[in-house]
């Protein structure tokens, strides 16, 4: 079958790889229908994160089950299934705590594992990992609305959970990438009263407005911090940091009110220093975490199916699997927010 692999920095190839097969009795094989390219896929692509040539790519996908191992009971061939970006056994202590990304036998798609930018994938712990969704596999619009739940929508939601966003609260969302935009959606869904989107791209900040942002600020404008501190009488109690860079974390710290919380979900690449004294002096909590997406999938799927939630506008381009390299190039140049891949 075909699968996207990273051959070198900036070099994505679509390679012929062995077809996946059932290995463990708890596995499932899924024919992938839709996948996506994530901002975090760009870290190794840009050489900012280690990889081995030939590493598989992609951790956001949905598809149709082709075959299941003999111990799989909740999933069967023909089911349309959604997967979180990590697989997990569902039974270890961490999974039972709702921390499926820390599963002792789990892992992440891509790298040495199989990836989602491919025609098919072997899914370990299929019963625990996959969420079957009763929809028409031909309803393309609905599938596009569901796909962001695999990562960016659930990650934006996690930022809000970590930052303690709730009814009536004020929240600043740092980052206007797909995760930041989804955090705006999540904040609105959680009942936040004031949602301040802080980004660098006017077109993305306009989308943030349609997603529910009540205010938008330019991350590069030196007046931004003073403006937010002034407008909120001392900063906001909840900041969703959706970038993962040093400057984004520093900005988050500057915007947080004493006693407030930063929910940080950007993979912390290049974050070298955290001035703990600034957190200490103002009792600012730092809750950084990779989203345990599996924990959030059921309620998010329910909201997409009911029409209450639609994160699909984050997809601003679409390519066939054969052209996935183009999607990486365009996202790297920030010409598009997020690319959908048809496999």
Site of interaction with its own copies (CB under 8 A): 93-94, 97-99, 101-102, 162, 233-234, 249, 257-259, 264, 267-268, 271-274, 276-277, 279-290, 292
**Residues 246-254: contacts with CB under 8 Å, at least 24 apart:** 246/270, 246/271, 246/272, 246/273, 248/174, 248/175, 248/219, 249/274, 251/174, 251/198, 251/219, 251/225, 252/172, 252/174, 253/278, 253/279, 253/284, 254/225, 254/229
Cross-strand partners of 35:
61, 341
Q: Minimum Å distance from CB 152 to its own copies?
A: 16
CA distance 260 to 282: 8
CA distance 86 to 106: 7
Cβ closest to its own copies, residue 15 vs residue 92:
92
Cβ closest to its own copies, residue 191 vs residue 259:
259
Cβ closest to its own copies, residue 132 vs residue 164:
164
Cβ closest to its own copies, residue 121 vs residue 128:
128
CA atoms within 13 A on the CB side of 17: 23
Q: Minimum Å distance from CB 85 to its own copies?
A: 14
Residues 105/92, Cβ–Cβ less than 8 Å? yes
Q: Minimum Å distance from CB 91 to its own copies?
A: 13
Q: How many residues does the chain have?
A: 343
Cβ closest to its own copies, residue 63 vs residue 263:
263
CA distance 310 to 94: 30
Cβ closest to its own copies, residue 47 vs residue 234:
234
Q: Minimum Å distance from CB 87 to its own copies?
A: 16
Cβ closest to its own copies, residue 66 vs residue 246:
246
Q: Minimum Å distance from CB 247 to its own copies?
A: 14
Helix or strand (DSSP H, E) at 45: helix 42-45
Residues 273/135, Cβ–Cβ less than 8 Å? no
- Identify the CA nearest to 157 among candidates 217, 84, 92: 84
Q: Minimum Å distance from CB 332 to its own copies?
A: 23
CA distance 66 to 61: 15
Q: Minimum Å distance from CB 181 to its own copies?
A: 21
């Amino acid at each position: 079958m075909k699968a996207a692999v990273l051959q070198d920095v900036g070099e994505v190839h679509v390679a012929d790889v062995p077809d996946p097969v059932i290995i463990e009795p708890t596995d499932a094989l899924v024919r992938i229908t839709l996948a996506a390219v994530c901002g975090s896929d760009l870290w190794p692509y840009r050489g900012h994160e280690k990889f081995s040539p030939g590493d598989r790519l992609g951790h956001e996908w949905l598809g149709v089950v082709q075959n299941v191992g003999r111990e799989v009971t909740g999933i069967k061939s023909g089911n349309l299934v959604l997967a979180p970006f990590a697989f997990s056994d569902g039974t270890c202590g961490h999974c039972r705590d709702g921390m499926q990304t820390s599963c002792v036998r789990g892992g992440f798609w891509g790298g040495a594992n199989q990836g989602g930018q491919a025609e098919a994938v072997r899914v370990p712990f299929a019963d625990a990992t996959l969420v079957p969704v009763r929809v028409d596999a031909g309803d393309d619009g609905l599938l596009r609305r569901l796909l962001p739940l695999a990562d960016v929508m659930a990650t934006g939601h996690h930022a809000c959970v970590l930052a303690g966003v709730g009814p009536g609260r004020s929240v600043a969302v740092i980052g206007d990438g797909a995760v930041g935009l989804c955090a705006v959606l999540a904040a609105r869904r959680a009942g936040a009263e004031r949602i301040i989107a802080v980004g660098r791209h006017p077109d993305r900040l306009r989308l943030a407005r349609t997603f529910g942002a009540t205010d938008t600020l330019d991350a590069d404008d030196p007046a931004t911090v003073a403006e937010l501190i002034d407008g909120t009488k001392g900063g906001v109690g909840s900041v969703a940091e959706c970038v993962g860079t040093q400057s984004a974390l520093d900005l988050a710290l500057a915007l947080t009110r004493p006693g407030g919380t930063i929910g940080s979900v950007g993979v912390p690449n290049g974050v070298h220093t955290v001035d703990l004294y600034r957190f200490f002096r103002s009792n600012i909590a730092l809750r950084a975490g990779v989203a345990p997406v599996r924990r959030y999938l059921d309620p998010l799927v329910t909201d997409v199916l009911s029409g209450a939630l639609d994160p699909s506008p984050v997809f601003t381009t679409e390519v066939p699997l054969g052209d996935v390299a183009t999607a990486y190039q365009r996202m790297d140049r920030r010409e598009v927010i997020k690319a959908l891949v048809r496999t």
